[in-house]
């Protein structure tokens, strides 16, 4: 299942979406990346690491330096944060790696992209853009 409004990324001639599937036991839903190769019109799947596999509604996918990135948003009573995960080697499950965990300041809503200098662009509740340096905070 893929929600139409969920994010998508185009890498290596392939479109990617966050998708969810029912686990064979029928009681759980698992997140994964669904792909569609433009050249030969073939659908495929890329698995996510265990840390992300059960988090479908909180995930988005995008591009960072020609690599797939998945952002996981966590909203709790004491605040919100996000984790940025990158697939360092395309199609290899073991290459998923968490780049950053960022505590979101009030008003910062979601990651919309990455700048050439490595900063992360966030949208705010007022539809402004904030450039955030993940190294210095």
Does 88 reside within a domain?
yes
Q: Per the structure, how many domains does the chain have?
A: 1
- For the chain, the C-alpha Rg in angstroms (whole number) is 15
Does 115 reside within a domain?
no
Q: Is the pLDDT of residue 135 over 60?
A: yes
This prediction's pTM: 0.86
Does 75 reside within a domain?
yes
Q: How much is the pLDDT for 55?
A: 64
Does 20 reside within a domain?
yes
Does 119 reside within a domain?
no
Does 45 reside within a domain?
yes
pLDDT bin (cut points 50, 70, 90) of residue 47 is: very high
Domain residues for the domain of 89 are: 8-104
Q: Give the separation between CA 116 and CA 67, rounded to whole angstroms.
A: 13
Query: Any residues with CB less than 8 A from the CB of 98 and at least 6 apart, and which?
Result: 51, 83, 84, 85
User: Tell me, what DSSP letter sits at residue 49?
Assistant: P
Does 98 reside within a domain?
yes
- Nearest Cα neighbor of 61 from 120, 17, 99 is 17
């Amino acid at each position: 299942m893929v929600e139409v409004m969920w994010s998508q990324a185009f890498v290596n001639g392939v479109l990617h979406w966050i998708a969810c599937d029912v686990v064979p036991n029928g009681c759980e839903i698992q997140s994964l990346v669904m792909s569609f190769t433009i050249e030969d019109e073939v659908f495929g799947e890329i698995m996510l690491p265990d840390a992300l596999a059960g988090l479908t509604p909180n995930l988005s996918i995008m591009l960072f330096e020609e690599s797939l990135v998945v952002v996981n948003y966590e909203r709790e009573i004491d605040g919100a944060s996000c984790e940025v995960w990158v697939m360092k080697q395309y199609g290899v499950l073991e290459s998923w790696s968490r780049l950053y965990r960022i505590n979101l300041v009030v008003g910062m809503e979601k990651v919309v992209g990455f700048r050439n200098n490595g900063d992360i662009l966030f949208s705010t509740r007022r539809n402004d853009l904030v450039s955030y340096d993940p190294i210095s905070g």
